[in-house]
Structure 1
């Protein structure tokens, strides 16, 4: 499992992230994924401090994506997650001890694309990360599926 997590993190960092931009605002990390694939959205405290008892909140615009508050989150009883993300978003519990609040979105959809924030609202100073997720449409080759539909 650790090997898989390491591979996913490295894959996301080296393949999916295009870079950081700062266009009249905070740094934004752009992540690209093919529709139907899984993607890790990165978020870590710069101090690498343990966050098992902290609050972090992932949002896409006004939509609640994933919230963790001292062990309580959407996958273990917390309510309020937007329907679009239910059952498809999780975090990495073993990574909380090193300040990693990254999440994974499974089976990405076109509507998942957009601007995300990872917020630690109770930290002083408050820490917020900005991620732009770009979901690329995938097309299936259906040329082999064409039949004699035009013949009578």
Structure 2
């Protein structure tokens, strides 16, 4: 059986059209609102463009230390919203938004652990292949 990308696209668009009200509601509350609130209440670091690498590291370390709770909270809410949208778009489910949010809440911890483990698996590959490749490319030029 050959994979037909057009059929996949049409299926995805049909699912989105069938559940667009739920997806818009969930995305508005759990994806766009946290981003808007974060942008409104957390000021970005102020850079002049003349900082060296040590100054940039110090500025961003202070920024992340001062705003760690806001960054963590907004990312958790957005992860929950993305998971709820995934549940809303499952073809075999036709539940309410409340059912999708409940299912997302039940799987949130597993979802976060899977993301953490995949990041831990990707990190050695980054360190072993990408960074030496960048070093070799820079040393070659």
Shared fold by TM > 0.5? no
**TM-score bracket, shorter-length normalisation:** under 0.3
Could you tell me the TM-score, scaled by structure 2's length? 0.25
Task: Write 1 or 2 for the structure with the bigger share of strand.
Answer: 1
Structure whose CA Rg is larger: 2
* TM-score relative to the length of structure 1: 0.24
